Structure 1
């Protein structure tokens, strides 16, 4: 299931898609995934998308909106909410902090 998430998270996928790809009933898949990984399937999808966004913010000059959509988020508001929830900083400030530390090295 984690491999499917890694391969498909930048597109439109749901917890049901992940379960069906593993050949499991969605409720059962959600249950064993949570026990094994410690996250819900949706949390794992969001985490993968945030990891992608984090890399893009550091390594590219893409506008923040482009980073959000390239990372698989369907809306800018959802991206900001998820990013700030995980990193406790806005995407722009996150990017800026890496640019400042890179210049000072």
Structure 2
């Protein structure tokens, strides 16, 4: 049986390209006005969204981050494009809280 060997690009090139894309996004976000220590910090974005939802009272970090909305919409679009988006049976609240299907 002949096994086709994958090229280096298909093994590591796509991972490298994704890392470069995230780095460029961080540079653009920082140049566009995000704080210098934040760039593309998911933890910082989630902290800001928690403040916007009233889960903490630090006034300077209480706003909805459009980056998180873009990540969620982009992930949903990628799942739809790859035909991997499917509804799971069972109560949605249990899946949301426990993270299981």
Check whether TM > 0.5: no
Q: Scaled by the length of structure 1, what TM-score is found? A: 0.28
* Structure number, greater radius of gyration: 2
Q: Scaled by the length of structure 2, what TM-score is found? A: 0.29
